[in-house]
Structures are given as structure tokens and as C-alpha cells.
Amino acid sequence: MDELDRKLVLLLQIHGRRALSELGRKLNRPKTTIAARIKKLEEGGVILGYKAVVNPSALGYRVLAFVLVSVRRGPSAREAKPLQLEVAERVLSECNGERGMPFVEEAYVITGPYDLLFKVWARDIKQLSAFLVTYLASNPDIQRTETFIALEVVDDWRRRAMPPAEPA
């Protein structure tokens, strides 16, 4: 990525619906150059896609929690992938879009005393409680969990743009 690519990625993160002509004016380049650069960034996996960025609270999700999960040791059922990854994928698959379940926005395999970290949006404490006490606790691959409820969101990715790293 050169300087033009970095500026373009930053602009697209701030307002992804800008017209090519407007981006060209801001970057002092013809729109054909901007279109070619965007295509290159998409094909190179820098730009993963385009979508509306929504406010979880406006969609009815009032509780944000971070859930740490410890997974049992041993082989996975399929042994094609680590058990931690299998459990994370199963939680994502079974929760997202299922009525009564919270929305698991992010899932990570992590280092330290826990194996997984989930960023979970729940409609209320009752829904979060059911997720923790009923759903996760019934999974035989999960040994223990620890949950942190966010009292206030100070800032998150929805409000900011990630600046592209400078070349080393």
C-alpha cells in the first residue's frame, strides 16, 4: 500500500458511500484512478466489504458483555481443527440469528488462562444470564467462563477509522 491507498482506505472507512468523483477531488486524482485503486484494495483483501454500520442500542441490544471461556483439553470431535476454534464457531453459528439468543459480535482464540473471548450483545440481563447459565454451561466442551459487563462504551470501531499502518 502506498500513501494514496492509505488515504483512500481512511476516507472509505469514514464515509463508504462517497462518490468516486468526490473521493478523486479529495485526493486530487481522477476517478478512474480511484476506481482502479479501490478494486485493487478489494482484490488484495484490504477492503473486506461494504455494509451499514448500525448502533446496537437502536436495534434493542442494551447489554454489552465480554465473556472469557476456558475449553476442555483434548481432541476435537472432528480433529480437523483445534477444539477452541470448533467451540467458537459453534457458538457463533448457534447464537447469531437465533430467537432468544444474544448476538455474538466477535469471537477470538486467545492466549492466557482462558481460550476464547466473545463480545456479546444481549437485549437485557435476563438474555445474557440465559446465555451464560443455560447455553454455555450446557456445553460439555466448556469448563468455565468469566464475564465482564460494559457499564459504558467509551469508544469502539463504529465511531472511528483504523489508520493504515505505515510501511516498516
- Per residue in 63-92, pLDDT (tens digit) is 999 999 999 987 666 667 899 999 999 999
Q: Where are the alpha helices (DSSP H) in 31-96?
A: 31-43, 83-95
- Listed in sequence order, the residues at least 6 apart from 60 whose beta carbon sits closer than 8 Å to its beta carbon are 123
Within this chain, do residues 77 and 17 fall inside the same structural domain, yes or no? Answer: no
pLDDT band of residue 158 (cuts 50, 70, 90) is confident
Whichever domain contains 103, its CATH number is 3.30.70.920
HSE of 152 in the Cβ direction (CA atoms, 13 Å)? 1
Q: Is 132 contained in some domain?
A: yes
Residues in a beta bridge with 106 = 119
How far apart are alpha carbons 91 and 112 in whole angstroms?
20
Same domain flag for 76 and 105 = yes
| pLDDT value at residue 73 | 83
Give a yes or no: residue 166 inside a domain.
no
Half-sphere exposure of 115 (CA within 13 A, CB side): 16
Average pLDDT value for the chain: 92
Q: 107: which strand partners?
A: 118
CB-CB contact of 108 with 116 (8 Å): yes
Considering the domain architecture, whether residues 62 and 122 belong to the same structural domain is answered as yes
Residue 103 lies in a domain: yes
Residue 155, domain member (yes or no): no
| Three-state secondary structure call for residue 53 | coil
Q: How many domains does the chain have?
A: 2
- Same domain (yes/no): 90, 126: yes
Structural domain boundaries enclosing 36: 3-43
Whole-angstrom Cα distance, residue 96 to residue 70?
Answer: 21
pTM, two decimals, is 0.86
Angle between helices 31-43 and 3-14 (to 10 degrees): 90
